[in-house]
Amino acid sequence: MERNQTPMSSPLDFDIIFAGGGASGCLIAGRLAAADPSLRILIVEAGEHTRGLPAHTQPARYFSHLAPTSTTVTFNIAKPSENIGGRSLVTPSARCLGGGSSVNFTMYTRAAASDYDDWETVYGNSGWGSKDLIPLLKKTETYQVKPGEPTHGYSGPLKVSYGGAYTNVGQQFLDVAREYDSIRGNTDDINGLFSCDQYGRWQKWIDADTGTRSDVPHHFIYNQLHNQNLQVLHGCRVKRVIFENTRAVGVEFVNDTVLNPSADQTVRTAHASRLVVVSAGAFGSPTILERSGIGAFDVLKVHGVPPLVDLPGVGQNYQDHNVVFVPYLASEEAETLDALFRGDKSEEEREGRLRIRLYPSDGLIELVTQWKSSGTGLLAHNGLDAGAKLRPSAKDLQELGPEFETRWKTYFEHATDKPVIWIGPVSAYLGDPSVAPSRKYYSVGYYTQYPVSRGHVHISSGENANAPPDFDSGFLSDPADLATLKWGYKKSRELARRLKIYRGEYLPGNPTFADGSDARCLDAGMPVDVSAADIAYTEEDNTAIETYNRNFVQTAWHSVGPLFSTIYSNLDASFQLGTCAMKSRSELGVVDERLNVYGVQGLKVAGEHVPPCYSSSADIISLPRFPRSQSHPRMWARILTRRHW
Ligand SMILES: Cc1cc2nc3c(=O)[nH]c(=O)nc-3n(C[C@H](O)[C@H](O)[C@H](O)COP(=O)(O)OP(=O)(O)OC[C@H]3O[C@@H](n4cnc5c(N)ncnc54)[C@H](O)[C@@H]3O)c2cc1C
């Protein structure tokens, strides 16, 4: 859909420019535009539009974005590390309008309230405590799961539901947990903010009425087509922020080269009279800052970038949840997304009765019909129905061992709402579907909720905005994280082998225990009784689990990040120490509590946690105007011709 051409006096001039149109950039830009439609706002986004595309609106299609041929994510490749068996961790980050909100698993996951309080009390960011943020979280959502819940909102744009199905994988997981782990029990709000250590049904960013993904662009950008002052320039990568003295006055950008590797790399400029917001995610934001001369001077020097502000915290403290998904064989009765992920043919298609294929992947016709008519079914779902954020009991602490002791005492012991691990079932095999035999699976995943290990994201070129970053994931560099994963494997296996649909372990994705070990995995079998004894592991078995976790740990796609997310991906407060951390400059912070980058003016960095604080838009809008610079008519023509939303 084309918008009317905007009769602006100065086409390349904007009041505010967002470098990166992901979850945060779109949410803030959309709110600002709604609050003051006269504001001229430009979003420069590396990826393509997502409006009305089934790959983005149908929740179950999230897996397609992770296929090696996908252009809606960027595959960030870390340097190889012995900590993960010599592998190079591949970490996809979103690359499309809406960013992660348009490609992610739609899991609705909120932090512990004490995480927000830590932002305020530990890191000195006034106005970021839970009492300030919870009203803003509520304002963003419509909680369709249950009326009258005090920490949830009921009139916000983003809908939260359980999705259009409730698979028997998730149901059986909760049934088993209720009995097997009766001390912990089940809760009816797994994301209630103030407590954890229980099992529960998992909420999703899915609209129960339509079955569509509750993404950011459809709810904050595409619904404002009438506002001609809100512009999106897609397929363009911001190279750097430009300054007059130390005031940010615009951005330079080039064509993105993913869809067109030989795209013209002429550098073009857009001007911002009031503010530049860098909102390019965990990988994009620190690298834009560094190419702009803001970062550790020794990093800038290596790549010949003229230094502007010495901020050694830029690009440091990279974190992600360290996840392992263990695959189990499921009986035929299991309700899984395997056929969908694999692209199995429907009966009509197999028999050649279907002439018109609606979508490139096969076997979807019935599901699409159901989704279109009622917004229900597996297409309105993500296969993740249940889970738990667990804290270790006294017995579990013994299992976690001395490697975890300091972490427990210094971080978790007295913060009773902070979980140590996430565990949950997925109604599908989450590996490469073209390799695994065609049958039904379920996976049980576990990840470190607050990993200790840290990595970094820096530039590998001072000039080339399309160059991959210098990326170290840092995964499992701290033994406390390895101890947590060992506990996670054992705990999740005990739950998994009690599900009624259990039919054994998919051996290529499981640990290799020594022949004769009581712990060895079996690729056939029936579930054990809920009251069966736990598997006893020898020291040799423990070593096999450690090797397995090192070799199979992967990204949970929660790279953090410019700051931290409260709206979409609530991780934890330690994530506040991300690659553009919000804390004092002396502690290697990059932005202050108003998200202003230290040492310059007119420049903010936005991660997902920013939006609620801008619901009034007061801070940005009250900035003084800055004189506009020269416009560039050719550029404006490009904005208009490339736009198709
Ligand atoms: C595969 C996947 C699954 C996930 N699953 C979940 C989930 O189920 N639940 C959950 O809560 N969270 C999930 N997340 C995490 C969540 O989506 C992110 O935390 C969130 O989107 C981060 O928001 P952001 O605005 O900081 O960055 P993003 O949303 O990543 O947006 C950054 C944007 O900037 C653009 N960009 C980058 N560099 C440049 C540049 N130089 N110039 C212009 N544009 C640039 C990118 O193309 C991107 O669109 C998932 C993420 C991924 C990738």
Three-state DSSP class for residue 171: helix
Q: Can you tell me the mean pLDDT for 132-137?
A: 92
Residue 427 has pLDDT above 50, yes or no: yes
The pairing of strands 386-390 and 603-605 is: unpaired
Residue from 73, 104, 253, 288 to probe ligand 1 pocket by mutation (most atoms less than 8 Å from CB): 104
What does the pLDDT read at residue 81? 98
Per the domain annotation, does 8 fall within a domain?
no
CA distances (Å), origin 154, targets 32, 109, 143, 147, 150: 21, 17, 5, 8, 10
CA 590 to chain centre: 21
pLDDT band (50, 70, 90) for residue 631: very low
Catalytic positions are 558
Residue from 558, 566, 582 to probe ligand 1 pocket by mutation (most atoms less than 8 Å from CB): 558
Q: Which atom of ligand 1 is nearest to the CA of 285?
A: 38
CB neighbour list of residue 332: distance below 8 Å, 6 or more residues apart: 440
Residue 114 has pLDDT above 70, yes or no: yes
CA atoms 225, 231, 236, 237: torsion sign: negative
pLDDT band (50, 70, 90) for residue 504: very high
> Residues annotated in the binding site for FAD, as ranges?
238, 557-558
pLDDT band (50, 70, 90) for residue 545: very high
Ligand 1 centroid, distance to 544 Cα (angstroms): 34
CA 276 to chain centre: 23
Q: Which of 523, 552, 581 is the last residue of a domain?
A: 552
Query: How far apart (Å, rounded) are the C-alpha atoms in residues 73 and 65?
Result: 7
Co-location of 307 and 362 in the same domain: no
Ligand 1 centroid, distance to 323 Cα (angstroms): 18
Per the domain annotation, does 3 fall within a domain?
no
What does the pLDDT read at residue 363? 53
pLDDT band (50, 70, 90) for residue 74: very high
- Evaluate whether 542 touches 403 at the Cβ level (below 8 Å): no
Co-location of 314 and 292 in the same domain: yes
Residue 130 has pLDDT above 60, yes or no: yes
What does the pLDDT read at residue 615? 29
**How many alpha carbons lie under 13 Å from residue 434 in its C-beta half-sphere?**
3
Residue ranges of alpha helices (H) inside 36-112 are 54-57, 100-103
Ligand 1 pocket, 568 CB below 6 A?
Answer: yes
Query: How far apart (Å, rounded) are the C-alpha atoms in residues 365 and 348?
Result: 9
Q: Could you tell me which residues are beta bridge partners of residue 243?
A: 248
Ligand 1 centroid, distance to 556 Cα (angstroms): 12
Residue from 18, 45, 90 to probe ligand 1 pocket by mutation (most atoms less than 8 Å from CB): 45
Q: Ligand 1 atom 50: the closest Cα is on which residue?
A: 104
Co-location of 89 and 224 in the same domain: yes
Ligand 1 pocket, 557 CB below 6 A?
Answer: yes
What does the pLDDT read at residue 350? 52
CA 554 to chain centre: 14
From the CA atom positions of the chain, what is the Rg in Å? 24
Q: What percent of the chain has pLDDT over 70?
A: 87
Q: Can you tell me the mean pLDDT for 348-355?
A: 50
Ligand 1 pocket, 104 CB below 6 A?
Answer: yes
Ligand 1 centroid, distance to 371 Cα (angstroms): 26
- Evaluate whether 482 touches 476 at the Cβ level (below 8 Å): yes
The amino acid at 278: V
Residue 145 has pLDDT above 50, yes or no: yes
Q: Which atom of ligand 1 is nearest to the CA of 97?
A: 49
The amino acid at 380: A
CB neighbour list of residue 318: distance below 8 Å, 6 or more residues apart: 282, 454, 455, 456, 457, 471, 472, 473, 474, 559, 560, 578, 579
Co-location of 310 and 405 in the same domain: no
Per the domain annotation, does 94 fall within a domain?
yes
Count other C-beta atoms under 10 Å from residue 619's C-beta.
14
Ligand 1 pocket, 589 CB below 6 A?
Answer: no
CA distances (Å), origin 489, targets 322, 501, 574: 12, 19, 23
Q: Ligand 1 atom 24: the closest Cα is on which residue?
A: 281
Q: Can you tell me the mean pLDDT for 462-481?
A: 97
Residue 409 has pLDDT above 90, yes or no: yes
What does the pLDDT read at residue 11? 55
**How many alpha carbons lie under 13 Å from residue 258 in its C-beta half-sphere?**
22
CA distances (Å), origin 621, targets 16, 35, 41, 272, 274: 9, 10, 12, 13, 8
Co-location of 500 and 401 in the same domain: yes
Residue 418 has pLDDT above 50, yes or no: yes
Q: Ligand 1 atom 33: the closest Cα is on which residue?
A: 22
Q: Which of 510, 534, 552 is the last residue of a domain?
A: 552
Domain of 286: which CATH number?
Answer: 3.50.50.60
Q: Can you tell me the mean pLDDT for 344-373?
A: 61
pLDDT band (50, 70, 90) for residue 352: low
Q: Which of these ranges, 364-378, 465-479, 494-508, has the smallest mean pLDDT?
A: 364-378
Ligand 1 pocket, 424 CB below 6 A?
Answer: no
What does the pLDDT read at residue 540? 98
Residue from 105, 318, 555 to probe ligand 1 pocket by mutation (most atoms less than 8 Å from CB): 105
Co-location of 290 and 372 in the same domain: no
pLDDT band (50, 70, 90) for residue 568: very low
What does the pLDDT read at residue 607? 74
Co-location of 327 and 419 in the same domain: yes
- Evaluate whether 13 touches 635 at the Cβ level (below 8 Å): no
CA atoms 296, 589, 319, 405: torsion sign: positive
Query: Each residue of 584-614: pLDDT tens digit?
Result: 999 999 999 999 999 999 999 987 533 233 2
pLDDT band (50, 70, 90) for residue 578: confident
| Domain boundaries, position 363 | 338-380
Ligand 1 pocket, 105 CB below 6 A?
Answer: yes
Query: How far apart (Å, rounded) are the C-alpha atoms in residues 328 and 441?
Result: 6
Q: Which pair of tokens denotes residue 211?
A: 């079955």
Residue 144 has pLDDT above 70, yes or no: yes
Q: Which of 496, 521, 552 is the last residue of a domain?
A: 552
Per the domain annotation, does 56 fall within a domain?
yes
91-115 CB burial, b ≥16 within 10 A, e <16 = bbbbbbbbbbbbbbbbbbbbbbbbb
CA distances (Å), origin 128, targets 118, 134, 577: 9, 10, 14
Q: Which of 217, 212, 206, 210 is nearest to 48 (CA)?
A: 217
Co-location of 41 and 97 in the same domain: yes
What does the pLDDT read at residue 368? 87
Residue 121 has pLDDT above 60, yes or no: yes
Ligand 1 pocket, 238 CB below 6 A?
Answer: yes
Residue 358 has pLDDT above 90, yes or no: no
Co-location of 592 and 574 in the same domain: yes
Co-location of 541 and 579 in the same domain: no
- Evaluate whether 170 touches 73 at the Cβ level (below 8 Å): no
Q: Which pair of tokens denotes residue 148?
A: 């009258």
Q: Ligand 1 atom 17: the closest Cα is on which residue?
A: 100
**How many alpha carbons lie under 13 Å from residue 585 in its C-beta half-sphere?**
11
Residue 38 has pLDDT above 50, yes or no: yes
What does the pLDDT read at residue 339? 87
Residue 641 has pLDDT above 90, yes or no: no
Per the domain annotation, does 128 fall within a domain?
no
Q: Could you tell me which residues are beta bridge partners of residue 39?
A: none
Ligand 1 centroid, distance to 222 Cα (angstroms): 18
Q: What percent of the chain has pLDDT over 90?
A: 80
Per the domain annotation, does 519 fall within a domain?
yes
What does the pLDDT read at residue 407? 97
Angle, CA of 360, 361 and 363, to the nearest 5°:
125
Query: Each residue of 199-239: pLDDT tens digit?
Result: 999 999 999 999 999 999 999 999 999 999 999 999 999 99
What does the pLDDT read at residue 105? 95
Q: Can you tell me the mean pLDDT for 538-547?
A: 98
Provide the mean pLDDT of the chain: 88
Q: Which pair of tokens denotes residue 199?
A: 């099992």
Cα end-to-end span (Å), the chain: 5
In eight-state DSSP terms, residue 582 is B
Query: How far apart (Å, rounded) are the C-alpha atoms in residues 218 and 216?
Result: 6
Co-location of 98 and 244 in the same domain: yes
Ligand 1 centroid, distance to 148 Cα (angstroms): 31
Query: How far apart (Å, rounded) are the C-alpha atoms in residues 527 and 566?
Result: 39
Residue 629 has pLDDT above 70, yes or no: no
Residue 183 has pLDDT above 80, yes or no: yes
Q: Can you tell me the mean pLDDT for 158-173?
A: 97
CB neighbour list of residue 488: distance below 8 Å, 6 or more residues apart: 324, 421, 423, 446, 447, 448
What does the pLDDT read at residue 344? 67
- Evaluate whether 501 touches 169 at the Cβ level (below 8 Å): yes
Q: Which atom of ligand 1 is nearest to the CA of 27?
A: 25
Q: Which of 268, 261, 249, 160 is nearest to 212 (CA)?
A: 160
Query: How far apart (Å, rounded) are the C-alpha atoms in residues 466 and 235?
Result: 12
| Angle between helices 113-121 and 130-140 in degrees, nearest 10 | 130
Count other C-beta atoms under 10 Å from residue 382's C-beta.
26
Residue ranges of alpha helices (H) inside 439-538 are 479-496
- Evaluate whether 315 touches 295 at the Cβ level (below 8 Å): yes
Number of domains in the chain: 3
Ligand 1 pocket, 27 CB below 6 A?
Answer: no
Per the domain annotation, does 241 fall within a domain?
yes
Q: Can you tell me the mean pLDDT for 449-478?
A: 96
Ligand 1 pocket, 24 CB below 6 A?
Answer: yes
Per the domain annotation, does 199 fall within a domain?
yes
What does the pLDDT read at residue 323? 97
Co-location of 344 and 397 in the same domain: no
Ligand 1 pocket, 215 CB below 6 A?
Answer: no
